[in-house]
Homo-oligomer: A and B are copies of this chain.
Amino acid sequence: MAQKGDLMTVRSDIKVLDATIRDGGLVNNFMFSDEFINALYRANVKAGVDYMEFGYKASKELFDVTKFGKWKFCTEEDLRAIVGDNNSDMKIAVMADVGRCDFKNDIIDKIDSVIDMVRVATYVHQMPAAIEIIEDAKAKGYEVTCNIMAISNAKEADIDQALEMVGNSSVDGIYLVDSYGSLYPEQIRSIADKYMEAAEKYGKYIGMHAHNNQQLAFANTIEAAARGVSLLDATMMSMGRGAGNCAMELLLSFLKNPKYNIFPVLKFLEEYMLPLKESGAVWGYDIPYLLTGRLNLHPSSAIDFTKDERNDYSEFYTDLLDK
């Protein structure tokens, strides 16, 4: 693939998705105040963000509603309490996790919903189940993406086959997801080329969802974009599981499209994200996440290490090497 775009001009195909509530909700069990969500919605609209992901469509049969904030479930009622009929240019997205979503009942017809996009999160080995959700959501009228997670741990032949399978589905977009934050820009470029090949073959677009374990989330996101990837995930102050994601403030300061405006983002950061951090929510690049990222491991042990306020990095590293 040739490079797409340059550092001076606008790539009008590029769109930005704010995943703060969804990936950030993994930090605080989705316990955001309504005021926070309201302000975030308004900041995103003002900033020119194209999509805002509100959370998961998790099954209330599977998860105890008293243990999670409402954005793990994203009911129509809760969404409308924030966005009304969403009279804005920004689209509303939710995530449906394979095996954790009662999609047949909980995802209603688009015509009755304020939701615009359903993002189907799946591991490579769950593709048939993912495609079932994709086809259901497409038939109901939604824009649909397939977010294939943890590819740094999957075999290349399996990724190739997953791309063929989802390419042949009705999905609109396919996401390159670096769940463990373990991929270097050089790898991202070659994986993006592979995904773009599938995109061109099947008429899909490609998205990028990065994690910041090695301080590469922003770099990997813009490198993927330069290969043609066009739907870019970011979160406010990089809030997200473990080391967090690509920071919205970095991404919007990079993009050249004048429709993007960093000022409302900066306002939101100072008024809402700093107090959230001060209240005890913990995320962002730190040494233990670097180590799990480097070793291509799920960040869970690093999250525990951080929660326990440990700082014996060398001991932690020795333990990881035994895993």
A residues adjacent to B (C-beta < 8 A): 7, 184-187, 212, 214-220, 222-223, 226, 237, 247, 249-250, 253-254, 262-263, 266-267, 269-270, 274, 285, 287, 290-291, 294, 311-314, 317-318
Contact = CB atoms under 8 A, between A and B. Distances in A.
A214 B7 contact: no
B314 A263 contact: yes
A252 B187 CA distance: 18
B219 A270 contact: no
Contacts of A187: 7
A249 B290 contact: yes
A44 to B, nearest CB: 16
Number of this chain's copies in the assembly equals 2
A287 B266 contact: yes
Given A7-B184, A7-B186, A186-B7, A267 B218 contact: no
Contact of A270 (B185, B253, B314): B314
Nearest to A247: B215
A269 B249 contact: no
19 contacts: A7-B186, A185-B219, A185-B222, A185-B223, A214-B218, A214-B254, A215-B247, A216-B219, A218-B219, A249-B287, A250-B290, A263-B314, A263-B318, A266-B313, A269-B287, A269-B313, A270-B311, A270-B312, A274-B311
A287 B184 CA distance: 24
Contacts of A218: 214-216, 219
Given A249-B287, A250-B214, A311-B274, A317 B219 contact: no
Contacts of A185: 185, 219, 222-223
B184 A222 contact: yes
Contacts of A7: 184, 186-187
